[in-house]
């Protein structure tokens, strides 16, 4: 018996699904927009749209043939201005949940030329190799023919990536494929559960070099490096570790760095916490002495390698430290009046709760928080506000086009 019904879409949830209010509670219907009337067949708290009977005026045609199946994008059907405004609303809502009423700036569109790093999955399907992203809420894989959110260099390389992945595929299970577009070519990193058979090395190296890749690694081990896969961070050539984290787009990196440097004001001594490969360390060092702190050994080695090539910077020092288990305490930040005038922190999605508590106890004058998770950012800002800081500026930066994710920069003063 069919349970199809007509629903009015009230709002968008934080993952981008349309929300219809029903007597049984909210019903989440993907690929719908506020103000639309849709026919859907509920299954629990979710439903797939069967027909859009009254479309929103901001509805547009998707730009990718895989949209609606591929789990990588949620909002290709929403016009640009409305889409950016919705992302800003996600930041406002996260702050409000923590009792923070603050002026949030307009979302900066920093998608640029596209994402320069893709984490793909490869698996066997009979004699065929599939390569792409998982379907929405499924273990099935979408075999990518195109991807408008990636830089062209990566999408052009999809056929050769399949070829290279094929001999590494396990009989069962998946192969993780991370590809990064660098100044010197594509950097390719495979990750598999089993050790790689040595007999495959010559074939892999030959194919990678023939295709013009800068570097090829498997399970973190570099098999061949034709050229160092440099990224330019504020003019400093930095070689990230295989499959290492970087900001998704070059445009966003520039926007974020500009906001971070603005945020430290006239500070002359800055702690850059969760520094990664030096995304903010190097631009900050144009105007201040910087101490960079990072947990990941490989990322810190990349930062150190860039430091050896940096020109025209003030002092840069670095330290390996687990800031989750061993945060910088207030007395270290203050150092009896000789401490840091500004702290920058850019943690993973889990946020920096322990570190925020110590900053809140310190005398540091300025704090700049960068986050890809508005919820954990709001939690950390609440801690700092309760510790005597005030919000000076909050800006969303969108480098995750068509997804529900958003980067945010918050500037605070004591």
**265 and 122 share one domain:** no
Is the residue at 66 inside a domain?
no
The helices-and-strands tally (H runs, E runs) of the chain is 10, 23
181, 208, 231 — which closes off a domain? 231
204, 231, 258 — which closes off a domain? 231
Is the residue at 65 inside a domain?
no
SS3 294: strand
CB 35 within 8 A of CB 56: yes
**310 and 391 share one domain:** yes
- Average model confidence (pLDDT) for the chain? 95
The CATH number for 16's domain is: 2.40.50.140
Q: Where are the alpha helices (DSSP H) in 102-157?
A: 152-156
What's residue 144's pLDDT? 95
Residues 359, 394, 342: CA angle, nearest 5 degrees: 35
**276 and 344 share one domain:** yes
**288 and 183 share one domain:** no
Q: H or E segment at 345?
A: strand 342-345
Is the residue at 75 inside a domain?
no
**287 and 343 share one domain:** yes
Cα 106–chain centre separation: 19
Scan for tokens 């990636």, then name that residue: 150
What's residue 1's pLDDT? 45
What's residue 187's pLDDT? 98
Is the residue at 221 inside a domain?
yes
The CATH number for 175's domain is: 2.40.50.1070
**199 and 107 share one domain:** no
Cut 0.85: pTM above it = yes
185, 207, 231 — which closes off a domain? 231
| DSSP conformation class of 350 | T
**279 and 400 share one domain:** yes
CA distance 307 to 413: 29
What's residue 336's pLDDT? 56
The CATH number for 396's domain is: 3.40.50.150
Is the residue at 69 inside a domain?
no
pLDDT tens by residue, 55-105:
999 999 999 999 999 999 999 999 999 999 999 999 999 999 999 999 999
Domain range enclosing 9? 5-59
**307 and 276 share one domain:** yes
- Residues involved in catalysis: 372
Is the residue at 281 inside a domain?
yes
What's residue 195's pLDDT? 85
Q: What is the mean pLDDT of the segment spanning 365-379?
A: 97
Q: Given a cut of 60, is residue 136 above it in pLDDT? A: yes
**326 and 393 share one domain:** yes
What's residue 234's pLDDT? 96
What's residue 337's pLDDT? 57
Q: Given a cut of 70, is residue 192 above it in pLDDT? A: yes
Q: What is the mean pLDDT of the segment spanning 132-146?
A: 91
pLDDT tens by residue, 269-296:
999 999 999 999 999 999 999 999 999 9
Question: Would you tell me the crossing angle of helices 201-211 and 158-165 to the nearest 10 degrees?
Answer: 170
Q: Given a cut of 60, is residue 34 above it in pLDDT? A: yes
What's residue 2's pLDDT? 57
Ligand-binding site membership of 294 (annotated): yes
Ligand-binding site membership of 137 (annotated): no
Is the residue at 67 inside a domain?
no
Domain count, the chain: 3
pLDDT tens by residue, 234-268:
999 999 999 999 999 999 999 999 999 999 999 99
What's residue 173's pLDDT? 87
Ligand-binding site membership of 274 (annotated): yes
Strand bridging mode 185-191 / 215-218: parallel
Is the residue at 292 inside a domain?
yes
**250 and 215 share one domain:** no
Q: Which residue, among 276, 329, 336, has the nearest Cα to 303 in the 3D structure? A: 276
**218 and 286 share one domain:** no
**99 and 121 share one domain:** no
CB 411 within 8 A of CB 263: yes
Rg of the chain over Cα atoms, rounded to whole angstroms, equals 23
pLDDT tens by residue, 41-58:
998 899 988 999 999 999
């Amino acid at each position: 018996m069919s349970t199809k019904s007509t629903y009015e879409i009230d709002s968008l949830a934080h993952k981008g699904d349309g929300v219809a209010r029903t007597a049984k509670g909210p019903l989440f219907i993907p690929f719908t927009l506020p103000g639309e009337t849709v026919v859907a067949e509920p299954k629990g708290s979710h439903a797939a749209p069967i027909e859009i009977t009254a479309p929103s005026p901001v509805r547009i045609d998707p730009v990718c043939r895989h949209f609606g199946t591929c789990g990588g994008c949620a909002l290709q059907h929403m016009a640009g201005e409305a889409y950016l405004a919705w992302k800003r609303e996600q930041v406002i809502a996260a702050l409000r949940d923590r009792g923070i009423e603050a002026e949030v700036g307009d979302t900066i569109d920093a998608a640029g030329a596209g994402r320069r790093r893709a984490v793909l999955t490869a698996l066997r399907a009979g004699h065929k190799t599939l390569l792409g992203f998982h379907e929405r809420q499924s273990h099935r894989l979408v075999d990518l023919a195109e991807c408008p959110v990636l830089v062209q260099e990566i999408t052009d390389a999809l056929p050769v990536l399949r070829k290279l992945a094929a001999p590494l595929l396990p009989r069962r299970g998946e192969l993780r494929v991370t590809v990064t577009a660098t100044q010197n070519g594509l950097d390719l990193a495979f990750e598999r559960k089993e050790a790689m058979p040595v007999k495959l090395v010559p074939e892999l190296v030959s194919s990678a070099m023939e295709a013009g890749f800068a570097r090829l690694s498997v399970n973190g081990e570099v098999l061949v490096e034709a050229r160092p896969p440099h990224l330019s961070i504020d003019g400093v050539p930095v070689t990230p570790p295989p499959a290492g984290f970087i900001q998704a787009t070059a445009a966003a990196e520039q926007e974020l760095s500009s906001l971070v440097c603005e945020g430290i004001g006239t500070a002359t001594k800055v702690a850059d916490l969760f520094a990664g490969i030096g995304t903010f360390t190097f631009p900050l060092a144009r105007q201040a002495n910087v101490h960079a702190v990072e947990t990941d050994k490989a990322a810190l080695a990349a930062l150190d390698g860039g430091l050896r090539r940096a020109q025209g910077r003030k002092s840069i020092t670095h330290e390996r430290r687990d800031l989750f288990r061993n945060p910088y305490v207030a007395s270290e930040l203050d150092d009896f009046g000789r401490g840091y005038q500004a702290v920058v922190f850019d943690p993973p999605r889990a946020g920096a709760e322990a570190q925020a508590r110590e900053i809140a106890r310190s005398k540091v004058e300025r704090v700049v928080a960068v986050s890809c998770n508005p919820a954990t950012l709001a939690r950390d800002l609440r801690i700092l506000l309760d510790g005597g800081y005030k919000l000076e500026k909050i800006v969303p930066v969108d480098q995750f086009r068509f997804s529900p994710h958003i980067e945010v920069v918050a500037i605070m003063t004591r």
